[in-house]
Amino acid sequence: MQQVYFDNAATTPIREEVIDVISEVMKSSYGNPSSSHSYGRSSKVLIEKSRKTIARYLNASASEIVFTSGGTEADNLVLVSAVRDLKVTHIVTSKIEHHAVLHTVEALEKEYKIQVSYVNLDAQGNVDYLHLKTLLDTERKTLVSLMHINNEIGNILDIKRVSELCKSYNALFHTDAVQSIGHYELDLSEIKVDFLAASAHKFHGPKGIGFAYIRKESGIKPLISGGEQERGLRAGTESVHNIVGMELALKLAYDNLNEESNFVNDLKEYFIKNIQKNIPGVKLNGQSADTKHSTYTLVNVCLPVSEKQASMLLFQLDLKGIACSKGSACQSGSNQKSHVLAEILNEEDLQRPSIRFSFSKYNTKEEVDFVIHILKAFIVKSV
């Protein structure tokens, strides 16, 4: 049976070079990086080298990179400390953020009685910048948390514009950049975000490792207490092999960015052209049909199938060896429909199946042809 992996927004396959370096570090550099002997010092050197490399690609200071278990922890670290320690009393976000942000904000609202404002969105899921400006016009200490690239529909936020707007109102700005780090170049000396979250497994690195960018002298305090690792901002023995694996994955992603992004973008355009040609009535959700205003890595399609027929679609695709998703992988155990699509689709389209297909350098046009053939056959059979 043919196997097609079109769920790269959930996680990406690890590059062979990354697997090799992880294995080598696990074998040869097993010392605890907090230990003072030579084994510990050699592990510590690897960590600090990785920190410097990652900072260099983002044009940031190495001291501003804090290693975490992934994007969710990085989001939580920033949001919780902003309210608890920086005395933020107003958070501005949107209703289509990842649940790592939305659920954390909801918990903070309940526990600390802060004000939470949700910025308006247009019919494609784009932020209303004029409304955002209105929300920032307040005496409250405010933090804005808006993701750079939406993980379900691929819309790209103008984070430079938002950062400048936040600065003009003396507000803090946090962005979940899990879907963009490794796929888009970000110059953090030019884009004045205060906080950023990233995760290695979204750019062909290992799972269980990521980082928070925390602008120097921000006042952020640790979420996890214990040792003094990560300059006191993240207790716990560092996962040396995963950190080094993430460093290499990021290096390879950016060193090959032009070639690989052009390849994947061509693949996305090929997918859009052929699904529209072969499946009349298909719709593309959000901005995902617009390669200038959405990420080149994914499309989200609404198929002309009834709700009853839709219930078996993902199961049938899986039986054919096709991996894709109806939304965030973090919601896969839930029967709830996408909270992102609920904000932008009409009631009729919400009853139809919407599927996210996300691509990487390891995919091919032949795989696109196969997937569209299977989709077309399913739809014809369902009519």
Label residue 225 exposed, middle or buried (CB < 10 Å: 0-12, 13-18, 19+): exposed
Catalytic residue among 166, 302, 324, 330: 330
Cβ neighbours of 130 (radius 10 Å): 9
Label residue 273 exposed, middle or buried (CB < 10 Å: 0-12, 13-18, 19+): exposed
Chain-centre distance for alpha carbon 174: 13
Q: Which residues contact 171 (CB under 8 A, 6 or more apart)?
A: 92, 136, 142, 143, 144
Closest to 140 measured CA to CA, from 66, 94, 60, 82:
82
Known catalytic membership, residue 302: no
Tokens of 248: 């290499």
Phi-psi category of 204—alpha, beta or left, where left has phi over 0 and alpha has psi -120 to 50?
left
Say which DSSP state 155 is in: B
Please, are residues 165 and 138 in contact by the beta-carbon 8 Å criterion?
no
- Residues with active-site annotation: 330
